[in-house]
Amino acid sequence: MKKIIFAFLSFIVILLTNLFASKIFNLPFFELSFVTGLMFTLIIGFCSSEGGFTSEILDVNIKPFLQKECRTNSHFFKFYNSIPFVVALVYTVISAILSIIVYWKYFF
């Protein structure tokens, strides 16, 4: 039940952000759907990860105080899959497919 609520809330937040952005930029709702979904997917994916280049930069200040084993073995990357990430990814894929279908005649 909790997963369904998180999925629904994530979907509502993405839709409301898309609606708000379409009103601000005076564009149709559909034209910003792919960009909004991609933005949410990247932000949630970035915040759901651990390790990597960003963590290396942030850990520079404390590395001299760690033991030698911790300082040398710090090159790892772990991603935590979450319900909001999956919802944002599905929203992005569906909006990309619909955008390709709608704008097909402009490409070819």
H-helix or E-strand containing 58? helix 53-58
The region of weakest confidence among 18-22, 34-38, 43-47 is 43-47
Q: Give pLDDT, residue 56.
A: 63
For residues 34-63, average pLDDT = 77
Q: Per residue in 56-104, pLDDT tens?
A: 666 666 666 665 555 455 556 677 789 999 999 999 999 999 999 988 8
Q: Taking the CA of residue 31 as centre, how many other CA atoms within 13 Å lie in the half-sphere pointing to its CB?
A: 7
Q: Give pLDDT, residue 41.
A: 94
Q: Per residue in 6-26, pLDDT tens?
A: 999 999 999 999 999 999 999
